[in-house]
Copies of this chain bind each other. A is one copy, B any other.
Amino acid sequence: MTVTYSSKVANATFFGFHRLLIKWKGSIYKLLYREFIVFASLYTAISVLYRYFLTGSQKRFFEKLSIYCDKYAEQIPVTFVLGFYVTLVVNRWWNQFVNLPWPDRLMFLISSSIQGRDEYGRLLRRTLMRYVNLTSLLIFRSVSTAVYKRFPTMDHVVEAGFMTIDERKNFDRLKSPHLKYWIPFVWFGNLATKARKEGRIRDSVDLQTLMNEMNRYRSWCSLLFGYDWVGIPLVYTQVVTLAVYTFFFACLIGRQFLDPDQGYTGHDLDLYIPIFTLLQFFFYAGWLKVAEQLINPFGEDDDDFETNWCIDRNLQVSLLAVDEMHMNLPKLDKDIYWD
């Protein structure tokens, strides 16, 4: 899951954030060291070429080229393009997190609405709960590469206990050219109605509360699916990437240290290592990496959502809540503030 560091910055202290600069996992260094090496190598190569291999007039030409590139590098509005774009990506990423489907609200309702501690009652509750988990699993399979790797076929879904063999058959029998993740929810509705008819659900108020909650769960699922389906338009991402790459390309040439003896303005000094350009590389490329990481939070990055963990947690917890814990209450005792 995401790299948590909030406890490290709970209090604003002396140079508080500087401790974050030395983390590795999920850090800018881990994400960027390869690009950095490439960038630094190219810079060095060009520098060596300029210093040792070019003839005098070639040097003069290169110097003019360098100044030309530098001028344009400054004109590229990388900051704003990245600012607007990353804001968009971060908002989408957070909305996806907020819409991860958790079955907790449903499990409380199922546990309290479906009567009967006998086997049939247990079966009803467990099956309803399973349908809920099955739906989100089907969604996660199409959204998350990690989940898809774990459940490449429906057989794996059955084996993992999210579906019985009979359900699998019923599922396959329904012919539709479209995605079928909504099917378990029709079963859910049918089974709840059946339970209502048999008196396991007391009245329509209980039933409709359950149906509404189920629909809320479905909305989370479909919103998640929607975020995967309709991404940020490719053009926007290309525009941003192009701007950043152009900037770095211009820097490779334009930020070379030119011969101070030639007397170009702003080129009085030859430091060999372009410290500020390298730092700029870190924060512009780092900013773009923020976008790269968050644009699809269902991959296997350090900062991605651990959907496989969610799936396991949800199944385990929800079955526990509706079965073992159903009507299982601690003894009612007076609390210590009683009169």
User: Is there contact, CB below 8 Å, between B86 and A235?
Assistant: no
The answer on a CB contact under 8 Å between A319 and B337 is: yes
Interface residues on A, range: 35 or more
Flag whether A156 is at the interface (Cβ < 8 A): no
In contact, A234 and B3 (Cβ under 8 angstroms) = yes
Within 8 Å by CB of A242, from B28, B176, B214, B232, lies B28
The one of B191, B209, B279 that contacts A329, using a Cβ cutoff of 8 Å: B191
Q: How far is the CA of A336 from the CA of B165 in the complex (A)?
A: 11
The distance in angstroms between the C-alpha atoms of A226 and B93, with both chains bound, is 13
Contacts of A132 in B (CB 8 A): none
Do A222 and B1 touch across chains, with their CB atoms under 8 A apart?
no
| A311 contacts partner chain B, Cβ-Cβ < 8 Å | no
A320 to B171 Cα, complex, angstroms: 13
Q: Does A252 contact B (CB under 8 A)?
A: no
Question: Which residues from B are CB-within-8-Å of A107?
Answer: 186
Q: Annotate A236-277 by CB proximity to B: 1 below 8 A, 0 otherwise.
A: 111101110110001000000000000000101101000010
* Residues of chain B with a CB closer than 8 A to A219's CB: 105
28 A-B pairs in the complex with CB atoms less than 8 angstroms apart? A1-B229, A2-B231, A2-B233, A9-B296, A11-B145, A15-B38, A17-B288, A17-B291, A20-B238, A28-B234, A28-B235, A65-B271, A87-B87, A88-B90, A90-B236, A98-B223, A105-B215, A105-B219, A108-B215, A108-B218, A112-B211, A113-B193, A161-B337, A164-B330, A176-B317, A208-B209, A230-B305, A239-B290
Q: Taking the full assembly, how many copies of this chain does it contain?
A: 5
* Complex-state Cα separation, A210 to B79, whole angstroms: 50
Interchain CB contact under 8 A, A330 and B205: no
A34-56 contact mask (Cβ, 8 Å, vs B): 1 or 0: 11001000000000000000000
Bound together, the chains give a CA A203 to CA B204 distance in angstroms of 8
A123 near B226 (CB under 8 angstroms)?
A: no
A168 CB to nearest chain B CB (Å): 9
Q: Find chain B residues with CB under 8 A from A202 CB.
A: 204
Option from B84, B105, B190, B325 in Cβ contact (under 8 Å) with A112: B190
Interface string of A96-113 (1 = CB under 8 A from B): 011000101101110111
Q: What residues on B are CB-neighbors of A140 within 8 Å?
A: none
